């Protein structure tokens, strides 16, 4: 499989002087086109930091991250912004929507920056995505007039608007109840089936069990990697996958 | 605990804390200075007028004086304490030859005097009565200040050379508004030079009790004594002396009010942002049972500490600046005796500033009462804050760029937040445009219509001389033959008695002549067209209590003649009291004649002024522009200076506030900025959004500010002019500066401030501000 993102020996530290600590301590990892990857690890292990580093949202102190062969650390801020807008999609734990905008405007915001001329087509696409994700009818609502699960779907719609190559998710189900979390994961699986690469950070075994590749991070390093393979809802036993993952993680003292 | 909270708070927001302290410092400084200046000014005027023993009534008179009759009147009138007749030798400005120029361009009546014997003394800078030796001359302070004269230098008056021994303080004639200026020489020199000028007299009285002034003035008028010239009184001298520095004090007070308002706006903004940040904590404190007063105290303490620091600092600074500002008062009037009162009033002013801030902060904090603990703890934000401008949908916008749209939408959605900036911009535009309009109006040629004269190019004044009518006729005959003049009119001012229903008869100055040649703009009614019509100046109509259509009775040839008041006009000259009519009256004492003219080729004015000055030495010939400049030059220059200062202040404030505001806004919007950046908006996109916000607010500010300047500002400017005797006052706007330059320069300043203020958006990292 083609390499989409590749990191070589990336180091990122926080703090100063004796309090200085490497939150990423020489991570090298490849994310391939079409993969469904989750990153697990205890709190403070560097999972989210890795996600921000791989997506170019955060600079690394040393090492290299390439996206489709382009060295992210060498790119200018505008090029990075272009990449995020046209090739990447993001879903966060909280919906991260702008309060001043309606739900439809929030979804369309990234694409409207340079797609104002195709506004009709973009509106159509946004409505189609809302239909697909089950939030149709909320278009003109204020973000305070929707539930957490609904807002997270809205966030997914926004992430999909630019037809991204990859979607980064930072605990996308972390703030949701279990039913809503299951629904969101099904949605992500569906998106993955269309060929979009997905990289999630999670501490939830149920979420990780549905991904094809699990990375375990401890103290800023990749302590282990497991490849359960692509999860098929109709054929695979989710319970068994979860148990297998639990046993594996226990072996890593998680 | 309070100390700790304050320290933490100040550390967290250094810039804004500094800004608020600075504004309070500036406000306290200005208020303290204004207080010190007021006390010193009134004190110094008292000192000057006591030292020089200013007359309670001065009747200027050109022509013969009957000393015996005057002495008899003074002796018989019980109110009179002292009486004297002072000679004033009116010498043509051109005969004063300083080493670097003459006074030929001066419209002031320059003249020589000797030191008075009883009162109305001319003083040196130590407040001592000057004794002048032969060959020496003391010069009005203003000429030393303007640089034309210097102490130790020489001046030739009508060919006789004098050594300039020093400046003199003249409580009667040194104010800008006074039309005469006295030079002091020795009696012998005065006698030698008598032949080179026109002798005029100042008939001066000191009364036992100033309260009798009104009655005394009426008695003097009734006695029919010498009165060919203006009558001036003690209160008038006081006012004239107070005027120029008084205006400065008024300006300082106005600026300090503005600074306080801006300090309030800053405090409001930071306080509201702070309350929003601490919303949850405040809710928790309320839930734990703390009283609103207790919570308020935490916030109030900080601002009171800042206000106290600013006030003290401002008061301290006032000691540094006060000497500079007092220099002018000290130079012209001397020291004031109320030093401790000045200090006390300064402290009082500063305390008032402190108190106002305390009350204001307390009232802003009043909204703590509306915070519901349950809601604050659960949601951490105040309810119903989102939204606004819902009809503005991004997905329906096809016209403007997304960034600009987002900027404008944000302003409309969070209107309350932007009110501060809008207010500052409206104020800034207002204080740039109003003085600019005022300056433009006063320096425009048509301003002369407010002086009770039609628009013309050329003016000849014949006054304080004998045979005025014949002399005017002589000039008129010459002008008749002169083809350079396209039109001219001789206007003769005579005094007549007005018959009023109650009280003594009053004298009124009536200008006779054809008013249609140089028409005047009338506030009400029209110019007199028939012999039984009369038009009154605003102040006269007020004083006589007459309006258009009313009837006025004048005594002409000892007979009462009825006139219908046909119009009211503005007049800011001659104390603002005049009248215009077209009847011919052989009787009535001629005060002066004025010939106004228009040239077919206006470029010839300078040549004609020189020609007529040479031909008719008894008349004062002036170019109208120069006449305005000389009469109102000081005022025009002062307002011109005020325009620069106001523009400077307004632009600085705009720059500072926009800068501060943008920094605060960026800090407040970190989260939204991070979200937008995460979804591919560049730093420049974000900065464009902020620029759109500022420009949008600026556009609103310009609109409201200019409108206010035109309406409210016009009224304000009108009030200033009205106090001089013009009622309706139309601002003349220079469209280039008001509609083009002002917006342009404001845009540059606001954009620059926004660019600098939003520099930090580049430093806002997505990970730090979005990460859960």
- Among A101, A96, A106, A100, residue whose Cα is nearest residue B418: A100
Is A142 in contact with B387 (Cβ distance < 8 A)?
yes
| B439 and B491 housed in the same domain | no
> Which of B394, B401, B407, B769 should be substituted to probe chain A, the one whose Cβ sees the most A Cβ atoms within 10 Å?
B394
A249 CA to centre of own chain? 21
- Among B356, B363, B616, B596, residue whose Cα is nearest residue B485: B596
CA angle in degrees (0–180, nearest 5) for B104-B109-B110 = 70
DSSP summary character for residue B107:
-
What pLDDT was estimated at residue B34?
86
- pLDDT tens digits for range B46-70: 899 999 999 999 998 877 899 999 9
What is the span of the domain harbouring residue B579? 466-617
pLDDT, mean of residues B72-83: 92
- pLDDT tens digits for range B151-175: 999 999 988 999 999 999 999 988 8
Q: Which of A49, A57, A104 sits opposite B395 (nearest CB)?
A: A104
- pLDDT tens digits for range A163-209: 999 999 999 988 888 888 888 899 999 999 999 999 999 999 999 99
Q: How far apart are CA A112 and CA A110, in angstroms?
A: 6
Task: Assess whether pLDDT exceeds 50 at residue B689.
Answer: yes
- Among A134, A166, A167, A126, residue whose Cα is nearest residue A151: A134
Q: How far apart are CA B290 and CA B287, in angstroms?
A: 7
Task: Assess whether pLDDT exceeds 50 at residue B469.
Answer: yes
Nearest C-alpha in A relative to B689: A113
Q: How far apart are CA B29 and CA B52, in angstroms?
A: 33
Exposure string of B485-506, with b = 16+ CB inside 10 Å and e = fewer, is beebbbbbbbbbbbeeeeeebb
Is B490 a member of any domain? yes
CB B31 within 8 A of CB B347: no
> Which of A88, A99, A108 should be substituted to probe chain B, the one whose Cβ sees the most B Cβ atoms within 10 Å?
A99
Is A84 in contact with B684 (Cβ distance < 8 A)?
no
What pLDDT was estimated at residue B384?
45
| B593 and B707 housed in the same domain | no
Is B180 a member of any domain? yes
3-class DSSP assignment, residue B95: helix
What pLDDT was estimated at residue B383?
44
CA distance B393 to chain A (A): 7
CA angle in degrees (0–180, nearest 5) for B120-B124-B127 = 75
Is B680 in contact with A174 (Cβ distance < 8 A)?
no
> Which of B388, B679, B686, B761 should be substituted to probe chain A, the one whose Cβ sees the most A Cβ atoms within 10 Å?
B679
Which residues of chain A are within 8 Å of residue B378 when distances are taken between CB atoms? Answer: none
Please report which helix (H) or strand (E) contains residue B626, including its range.
helix B624-668
Which residues of chain A are within 8 Å of residue B415 when distances are taken between CB atoms? Answer: none
Q: Which residue matches tokens 């030292």?
A: B51
Give the pLDDT band (50/70/90) at residue B684: very high
3-class DSSP assignment, residue B220: helix
Is A105 in contact with B394 (Cβ distance < 8 A)?
yes
Which residues of chain B are within 8 Å of residue A84 when distances are taken between CB atoms? Answer: 678-680
Is B671 a member of any domain? yes
Nearest C-alpha in B relative to A159: B679
Give Cβ neighbours of residue B162 (< 8 Å, ≥ 6 apart). Answer: B135, B136, B137, B154, B155, B156, B185, B189
Which residues of chain B are within 8 Å of residue A143 when distances are taken between CB atoms? Answer: 386
Nearest C-alpha in A relative to B389: A100
Q: How far apart are CA B361 and CA B274, in angstroms?
A: 13
Dihedral through CA B343, CA B345, CA B349, CA B350, nearest 10?
Answer: 20
Give Cβ neighbours of residue B265 (< 8 Å, ≥ 6 apart). Answer: B420, B423, B424, B657
Q: Which of B393, B398, B680 sits opposite A85 (nearest CB)?
A: B680
What pLDDT was estimated at residue B316?
92
Which residues of chain B are within 8 Å of residue A165 when distances are taken between CB atoms? Answer: none
Is B386 in contact with A143 (Cβ distance < 8 A)?
yes
CB B115 within 8 A of CB B121: yes
pLDDT, mean of residues A236-240: 87
Is B547 a member of any domain? yes
Is B766 in contact with A58 (Cβ distance < 8 A)?
yes
Is B772 in contact with A92 (Cβ distance < 8 A)?
yes
ipTM summary value: 0.86
Q: How far apart are CA B669 and CA B539, in angstroms?
A: 59
- Among A39, A52, A30, A43, residue whose Cα is nearest residue A211: A39
Is B453 a member of any domain? no
CB B170 within 8 A of CB B139: no
Nearest C-alpha in A relative to B379: A144
Which residues of chain B are within 8 Å of residue A49 when distances are taken between CB atoms? Answer: 767
Give Cβ neighbours of residue B752 (< 8 Å, ≥ 6 apart). Answer: B655
| B508 and B377 housed in the same domain | no
> Which of A81, A86, A160, A161 should be substituted to probe chain B, the one whose Cβ sees the most B Cβ atoms within 10 Å?
A81
Which residues of chain A are within 8 Å of residue B397 when distances are taken between CB atoms? Answer: 116, 119
3-class DSSP assignment, residue B333: helix
Q: How far apart are CA B706 and CA B506, in angstroms?
A: 45
| B355 and B296 housed in the same domain | yes
Q: How many domains does chain B have?
A: 4
Summary mean pLDDT of chain A? 90
Which residues of chain A are within 8 Å of residue B770 when distances are taken between CB atoms? Answer: 92, 96
Summary mean pLDDT of chain B? 84
What pLDDT was estimated at residue B271?
79
Is B680 in contact with A82 (Cβ distance < 8 A)?
yes
Is B393 in contact with A102 (Cβ distance < 8 A)?
yes
CA distance B407 to chain A (A): 11
DSSP summary character for residue B731:
P
Q: How far apart are CA A184 and CA A163, in angstroms?
A: 18
| B537 and B480 housed in the same domain | yes
What pLDDT was estimated at residue B772?
47
| B403 and B480 housed in the same domain | no
Nearest C-alpha in A relative to B762: A77
Which phi-psi region, left, alpha or beta, contains residue B704 (left: φ > 0; alpha: ψ -120 to 50)? alpha
Task: Assess whether pLDDT exceeds 80 at residue B446.
Answer: no
Count of Cβ atoms closer than 10 Å to residue B764 Cβ: 21
Q: How far apart are CA B474 and CA A136, in angstroms?
A: 98
CA distance B17 to chain A (A): 28
Is B624 a member of any domain? no
User: Picking from A72-76, B356-360, B507-511, which range would have the lowest pLDDT averaged per residue?
Assistant: B507-511
Reading the block at residue B594, the tokens are 């004025």
Task: Assess whether pLDDT exceeds 60 at residue A77.
Answer: yes
pLDDT, mean of residues B189-197: 89
Which residues of chain B are within 8 Å of residue A102 when distances are taken between CB atoms? Answer: 390, 393-395
Nearest C-alpha in B relative to A162: B679
pTM: 0.69
B391 CA to centre of own chain? 47
Which residues of chain B are within 8 Å of residue A142 when distances are taken between CB atoms? Answer: 386-387, 390
Q: What share of chain A is helix, strand, coil (3-state, %, to 5)?
A: 40, 25, 35
Q: Which of A48, A81, A83 sits opposite B771 (nearest CB)?
A: A48
Domain boundary among B617, B641, B660: B617
Reading the block at residue B215, the tokens are 């009655």
CA angle in degrees (0–180, nearest 5) for B218-B224-B228 = 100
3-class DSSP assignment, residue B599: strand
| B439 and B489 housed in the same domain | no
**CA-CA-CA-CA torsion sign (A119, A120, A125, A130):** positive
Distances (CA, A) of B550 to B521, B531, B577, B578: 20, 15, 18, 17
What pLDDT was estimated at residue B572?
64
Which residues of chain B are within 8 Å of residue A98 when distances are taken between CB atoms? Answer: 672, 675-676
The residue ranking higher by pLDDT, B452 or B56, is: B56
Is A116 in contact with B397 (Cβ distance < 8 A)?
yes
What pLDDT was estimated at residue B376?
67
Max Cα distance, chain A (Å): 56
Report how many Cβ contacts below 8 Å link chain A to chain B: 113
Distances (CA, A) of A222 to A226, B641, B716: 11, 72, 75
| B696 and B583 housed in the same domain | no
Which residues of chain A are within 8 Å of residue B669 when distances are taken between CB atoms? Answer: none
Is B681 in contact with A110 (Cβ distance < 8 A)?
yes
The residue ranking higher by pLDDT, A144 or A216, is: A216
Is B766 in contact with A85 (Cβ distance < 8 A)?
no
Which residues of chain B are within 8 Å of residue A108 when distances are taken between CB atoms? Answer: 394-395
Q: How far apart are CA B43 and CA B23, in angstroms?
A: 30
| B168 and B255 housed in the same domain | no
Task: Assess whether pLDDT exceeds 80 at residue B445.
Answer: no
Q: What share of chain B is helix, strand, coil (3-state, %, to 5)?
A: 55, 20, 25
Q: How far apart are CA B108 and CA B621, in angstroms?
A: 12
Is B460 a member of any domain? no
Count of Cβ atoms closer than 10 Å to residue B246 Cβ: 16
For residue A169, the cross-strand partners are: A91, A200
| B357 and B505 housed in the same domain | no
Nearest C-alpha in B relative to A88: B679
Q: Which residue matches tokens 């996308």?
A: A172
User: Picking from B230-244, B389-403, B620-634, B740-754, which range would have the lowest pLDDT averaged per residue?
Assistant: B620-634
CA distance A123 to chain B (A): 7
Is A78 in contact with B684 (Cβ distance < 8 A)?
yes
| B485 and B419 housed in the same domain | no
| B500 and B518 housed in the same domain | yes
Which residues of chain A are within 8 Å of residue B765 when distances are taken between CB atoms? Answer: 57-58
- Among B90, B116, B108, B80, residue whose Cα is nearest residue B225: B80
pLDDT, mean of residues B688-692: 95
Q: How far apart are CA B395 and CA B402, in angstroms?
A: 10
3-class DSSP assignment, residue B343: helix
């Amino acid at each position: 499989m083609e390499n989409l993102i590749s990191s070589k020996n990336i180091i990122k530290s926080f703090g100063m002087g004796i309090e200085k600590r490497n939150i990423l301590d020489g991570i090298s990892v490849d994310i391939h086109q079409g993969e469904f990857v989750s990153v697990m690890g205890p709190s403070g292990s560097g999972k989210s930091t890795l996600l921000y580093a791989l997506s170019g949202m955060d600079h690394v102190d040393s090492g290299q991250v390439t996206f489709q062969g382009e060295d992210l650390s060498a790119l200018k801020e505008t090029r990075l912004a272009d990449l995020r807008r046209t090739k990447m999609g993001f879903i966060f734990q909280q919906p991260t929507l702008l309060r001043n905008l309606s739900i439809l405007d929030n979804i369309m915001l990234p694409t409207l920056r340079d797609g104002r001329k195709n506004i009709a087509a973009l509106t159509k696409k946004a409505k189609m995505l809302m239909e697909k994700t089950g939030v149709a009818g909320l278009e003109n609502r204020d973000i305070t007039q929707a539930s957490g699960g609904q807002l997270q779907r809205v966030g997914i719609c926004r992430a999909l608007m630019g037809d991204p190559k990859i979607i980064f998710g930072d605990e996308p189900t972390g703030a949701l109840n279990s039913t809503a979390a299951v629904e969101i994961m099904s949605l992500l699986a569906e998106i993955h089936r269309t060929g979009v690469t997905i990289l999630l950070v999670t501490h939830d075994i149920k979420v990780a069990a549905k991904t094809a590749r699990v990375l375990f991070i401890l103290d800023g390093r990749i302590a282990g990697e497991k490849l359960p393979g692509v999860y098929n809802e109709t054929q695979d036993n989710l319970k068994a996958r979860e148990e297998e993952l639990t046993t594996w993680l226990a072996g890593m003292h998680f | 605990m309070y100390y700790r909270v304050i320290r933490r708070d100040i550390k967290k927001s250094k810039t804004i804390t500094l800004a608020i302290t600075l504004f309070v410092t500036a406000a306290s400084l200005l208020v303290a200075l204004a207080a010190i200046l007021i006390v010193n000014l009134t004190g110094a005027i008292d000192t000057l007028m006591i030292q020089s023993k200013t007359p309670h009534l001065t009747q200027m008179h050109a022509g013969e004086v009957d000393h015996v009759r005057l002495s008899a009147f003074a002796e018989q009138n019980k109110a009179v304490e002292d009486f004297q007749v002072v000679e004033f030798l009116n010498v043509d400005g051109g005969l004063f030859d300083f080493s670097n120029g003459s006074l030929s361009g001066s419209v002031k009546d320059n003249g020589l005097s000797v030191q008075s014997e009883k009162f109305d003394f001319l003083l040196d800078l130590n407040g001592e009565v000057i004794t002048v030796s032969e060959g020496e001359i003391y010069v009005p302070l203003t000429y030393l200040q303007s640089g034309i004269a210097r102490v130790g230098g020489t001046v030739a008056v009508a060919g006789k050379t004098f050594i300039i021994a020093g400046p003199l303080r003249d409580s009667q004639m040194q104010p800008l508004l006074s039309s005469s200026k006295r030079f002091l020489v020795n009696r012998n020199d005065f006698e030698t030079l008598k032949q080179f000028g026109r002798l005029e007299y100042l008939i001066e009285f000191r009364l036992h009790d100033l309260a009798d002034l009104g009655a005394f003035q009426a008695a003097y008028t009734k006695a029919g004594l010498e009165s060919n010239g203006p009558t001036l009184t003690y209160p008038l001298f006081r006012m004239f002396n107070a005027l120029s520095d008084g205006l400065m004090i008024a300006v300082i007070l106005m600026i300090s009010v503005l600074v306080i308002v801006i300090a309030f706006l800053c405090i409001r903004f930071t306080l509201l942002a702070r309350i929003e940040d601490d919303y949850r904590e405040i809710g928790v404190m309320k839930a734990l049972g703390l009283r609103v007063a207790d919570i308020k105290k935490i916030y109030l303490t900080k601002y009171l500490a800042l206000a106290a620091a600013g006030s003290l600092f401002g008061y301290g600074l006032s000691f540094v600046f006060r000497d500079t500002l007092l220099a002018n008062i000290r130079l012209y009037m001397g020291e004031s005796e109320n030093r401790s009162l000045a200090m006390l009033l300064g402290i009082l002013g500063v305390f008032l500033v402190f108190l106002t801030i305390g009350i204001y902060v307390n009232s802003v904090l009043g909204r703590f009462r509306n915070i519901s603990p349950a809601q604050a703890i659960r949601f951490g934000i105040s309810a119903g804050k989102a939204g606004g401008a819902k009809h503005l949908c991004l997905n329906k916008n096809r016209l403007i760029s997304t960034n600009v749209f987002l900027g404008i939408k944000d302003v409309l959605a969070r209107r309350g937040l932007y009110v501060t900036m809008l207010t500052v911009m409206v104020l800034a535009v207002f204080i740039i445009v109003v003085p600019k309009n005022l300056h433009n109006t006063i320096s425009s040629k048509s301003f002369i219509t407010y002086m009770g004269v039609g628009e013309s190019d050329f003016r000849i004044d014949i006054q304080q001389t004998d045979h005025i009518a014949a002399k005017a006729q002589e000039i008129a005959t010459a002008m008749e033959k002169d083809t350079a003049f396209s039109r001219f009119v001789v206007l003769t001012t005579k005094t007549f008695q007005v018959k009023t229903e109650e009280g003594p008869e009053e004298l009124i100055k009536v200008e006779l002549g054809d008013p249609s040649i140089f028409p005047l703009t009338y506030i009400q009614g029209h110019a007199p067209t028939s012999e039984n019509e009369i038009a009154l100046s605003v102040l006269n109509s007020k004083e006589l209590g007459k309006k258009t259509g009313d009837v006025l009775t004048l005594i002409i040839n000892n007979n009462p003649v009825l006139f219908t008041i046909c119009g009211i006009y503005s007049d800011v000259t001659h104390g603002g009291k005049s009248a215009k009519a077209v009847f011919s009256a052989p009787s009535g004492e001629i005060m002066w004649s004025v010939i106004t003219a228009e040239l077919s080729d206006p470029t010839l004015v300078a040549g004609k002024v020189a020609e007529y000055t040479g031909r008719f030495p008894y008349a004062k010939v002036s170019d109208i522009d120069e006449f305005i400049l000389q009469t109102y030059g000081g005022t025009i220059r002062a307002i011109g200076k005020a325009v620069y200062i106001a523009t400077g202040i307004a632009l600085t404030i705009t720059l500072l506030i926009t800068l501060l505001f943008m920094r605060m806004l960026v800090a407040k919007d970190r989260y939204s900025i991070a979200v937008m950046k995460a979804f591919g908006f560049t730093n420049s996109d974000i900065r464009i959004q902020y620029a759109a916000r500022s420009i949008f607010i600026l556009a609103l500010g310009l609109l409201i500010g200019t409108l206010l300047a035109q309406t409210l500002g016009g009224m304000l400017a009108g009030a200033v002019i009205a106090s001089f005797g013009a009622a309706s006052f139309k601002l003349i706007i220079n469209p280039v500066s008001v509609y083009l330059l002002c917006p342009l320069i404001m845009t540059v300043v606001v954009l620059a401030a926004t660019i600098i203020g939003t520099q930090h958006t580049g430093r806002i990292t997505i990970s730090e501000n979005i990460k859960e």
